[in-house]
Amino acid sequence: MPQFGWHINIAKCIGCRGCEAACKQEFNLEAGVQRRRVILQEGFTGSGGSEQPFMRYITMSCNHCANPACVPACPTAALTKSATTGLVSLDESKCNGCKRCMAGCPYGAIQYNEETKKVDKCTGCGHRLDNLSLPAEKRAPACVITCSSYALRFSKDLTTIDGGAFGEATKTTAPPTGYSDISDPTYTNPSVRFSNKRTD
């Protein structure tokens, strides 16, 4: 099955939160609903008196996983995985607001909208990807288009990311010693790859 995916270069992310703003503007999201959010991680690397502080930003949203835990968790079939894109979509009309999908997602990607009393999540901007009325360079998720440091990239073929289309690509964020990873790929096989090299 084809799988669309994202490449996140942690070393290039400057924490401007432009991706967050672009997503909220694209979908006119209510206050408190964030389909994409930037997380700040802080800690120390090294040991034995040679510890060094670190700080990094990681942009996160739905990972559109190969084996999404949210889909079988939903009792109303409001969540589905596309056979043509691999994107996980939400049919809000079927959502009963039970939050079981939120409990099933190990990444905290699904949000609860207090206004609608239903869940909300990243769509992958499917409405933009094949919109021929847009210039070719704009047929991508709003968050990717807005990223001024090119820390966030997108491909309609995840294998090209694994093949190095945007530089180094790994399935984890390779956390420094003593700091837990936020995206363990053994859970649901996320369609997101990471890099931590500024030269990519």
Token pair of 52, please? 């060094």
Output the pLDDT for position 176: 45
Output the pLDDT for position 165: 84
Residuewise pLDDT in 10s, the chain (200 residues): 789 999 999 999 999 999 999 999 999 998 889 999 998 988 887 777 788 888 889 999 999 999 999 999 999 999 999 999 999 999 999 999 999 999 999 989 999 999 999 999 999 999 999 999 999 999 999 999 999 999 999 999 999 998 888 888 877 655 444 445 555 677 789 999 988 887 65
Strands 79-81 vs 152-155: parallel, antiparallel or unpaired: unpaired
Output the pLDDT for position 152: 96
110 in helix, strand or coil? Answer: coil
Distance CA 190, CA 200 (A): 21
For residue 30, the one-letter residue type is: E
Output the pLDDT for position 178: 43
Distance CA 151, CA 161 (A): 13
22 DSSP assignment: H
Q: Which residue segments constitute the domains of the chain, with CATH numbers given? A: 5-195 (3.30.70.20)
For residue 83, the one-letter residue type is: A
- On the CB side of 117, CA atoms within 13 Å amount to 1
Please report which residue ranges of 106-196 form alpha helices under DSSP H.
126-129, 142-146, 158-162
Global confidence as pTM: 0.88
